[in-house]
């Protein structure tokens, strides 16, 4: 703890001495959490389809300021953990007409959900739709538990996706983009490179072309989603992937797509694939 603060202070002093304005990501190979209990690589070689565009893919953590980075380095200081804990409580809470909880079928979350988040979104069992983690949760609630489905961005859903994501912390993101997922991936790619709204901005403008640059006080990252759900200081709460997508699209002065829409699920697959190899960080901290 003390050494971490000292190291951070030294890094800050060096940065100040070098006159850096935070225009580039910091040079840290990993996020060291709880004094080394968990270490998460911050960089991975770019996936094949991006090799000519980016040399490597980078965690958004590298682009955040020192205080925000420090919060993710200690689970007691990570405000997102409170919500993951609430999700853990909900895991074993019986709900619905069938008298079941998540644990009734899946047993312990630690084993049954390990690695799950790293492969999301993916095709459903019927093979006719691309599902995000939220879809799988609601499918269980409605069809196995006989419970009401949760709203995509409801506190209950975000608590649950936080708890589930935490079981994959450290697992490299690996989503299927071939077979029946291929057309979803192509659609997501189209959306990524479409310039929406009155500001005529596509995801690629900020997060590929100008990643590392500053828009006013915002340090543009690669827009990776391996840290989601994330505790976002600006929102003082957990933010889902689609919630952040909607915020970005809104900021282009565009009409957004809805959370859970086919468009955002397709975009989620494409953006997830751009971060292949980065570890699941959820629950991360951003601002």
Partner 1 sequence: MLRLAHLRPARAAALAALAATPVLAAEPPAPSAVQFNEGSVAQPLTGQPGSVESGKKIMSTNSLGNCVACHQVSAMPDVDFQGNVGPSLDGVAGRYDEAHLRGLVVNAKHTFEVTVMPAFYKNEGYIRPGEGYTGKAPDGPLSPILDAQQIEDVVAYLLTLK
Distance, CA of 245 to chain centre: 11
Question: At 39, is the secondary structure helix, strand, or coil?
Answer: strand
Identify the DSSP state of 225. Answer: -
Smallest distance, partner 1 to C-beta of residue 174, A: 31
Q: Which stretch binds partner 1 (CB under 8 A): 82-90, 182-190, 216-224, 230-238?
A: 216-224
- Determine which residue in the list 249, 271, 280, 285 makes contact with partner 1, applying CB under 8 A: 249
Q: With binding defined as CB under 8 A, does residue 67 bind partner 1?
A: no
Q: With binding defined as CB under 8 A, does residue 66 bind partner 1?
A: no
Bridge partners of 230, per DSSP, are 239, 284
Distance, CA of 264 to chain centre: 14
Please, what is the Cα angle at 156 between 153 and 158, to 5 degrees? 50
Nearer residue to partner 1 within complex by CB, 82 or 214: 214
Q: Is the C-alpha dihedral spanning 13, 17, 18, 22 positive or negative? A: positive
Burial class (CB in 10 A: 0-12, 13-18, 19+), 275: buried
Q: With binding defined as CB under 8 A, does residue 195 bind partner 1?
A: yes
Nearer residue to partner 1 within complex by CB, 177 or 249: 249
Question: At 187, is the secondary structure helix, strand, or coil?
Answer: helix
Q: With binding defined as CB under 8 A, does residue 214 bind partner 1?
A: yes
Smallest distance, partner 1 to C-beta of residue 33, A: 30
Is 105 catalytic? The answer is no
- Determine which residue in the list 124, 153, 205, 261 makes contact with partner 1, applying CB under 8 A: 205
What residues line the site for partner 1 (CB under 8 A)? 23, 194-201, 205, 209-210, 213-217, 220, 246, 249-256
Catalytically active residues, by annotation: 248
């Amino acid at each position: 703890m003390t050494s971490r603060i000292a190291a951070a202070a030294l890094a800050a002093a060096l940065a100040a001495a070098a006159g850096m304005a935070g225009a580039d990501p910091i040079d840290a190979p990993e996020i060291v959490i709880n004094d080394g209990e968990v270490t998460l690589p911050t960089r991975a070689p770019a996936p094949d389809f991006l090799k000519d565009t980016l040399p490597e893919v980078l965690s958004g953590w590298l682009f955040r300021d020192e205080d925000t980075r420090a919060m993710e380095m200690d689970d007691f200081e990570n405000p997102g953990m409170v919500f993951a804990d609430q999700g853990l409580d909900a895991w074993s809470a019986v709900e619905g007409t069938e008298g079941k909880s998540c644990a009734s079928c899946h047993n312990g979350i630690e084993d049954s959900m390990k690695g799950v988040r790293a492969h999301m979104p993916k095709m459903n069992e019927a093979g006719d739709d691309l599902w995000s983690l939220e879809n799988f949760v609601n499918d269980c609630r409605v069809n196995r538990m006989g419970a009401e489905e949760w709203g995509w961005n409801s506190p209950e859903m975000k608590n649950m996706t936080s708890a589930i994501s935490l079981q994959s912390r450290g697992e490299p993101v690996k989503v299927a983009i071939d077979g029946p997922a291929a057309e979803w991936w192509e659609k997501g790619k189209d959306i990524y490179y479409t310039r929406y709204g009155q500001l005529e901005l596509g995801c690629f403008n900020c997060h590929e072309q100008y990643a590392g640059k500053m828009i006013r006080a915002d340090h543009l990252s690669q827009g990776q989603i391996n840290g989601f759900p994330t505790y976002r200081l600006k929102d003082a709460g957990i933010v889902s992937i689609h919630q952040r997508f909607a915020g970005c699209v809104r900021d282009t002065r565009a009409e957004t797509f809805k959370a859970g829409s086919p468009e955002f699920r397709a975009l989620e697959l494409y953006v997830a694939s751009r971060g292949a190899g980065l570890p699941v960080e959820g629950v991360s901290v951003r601002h």
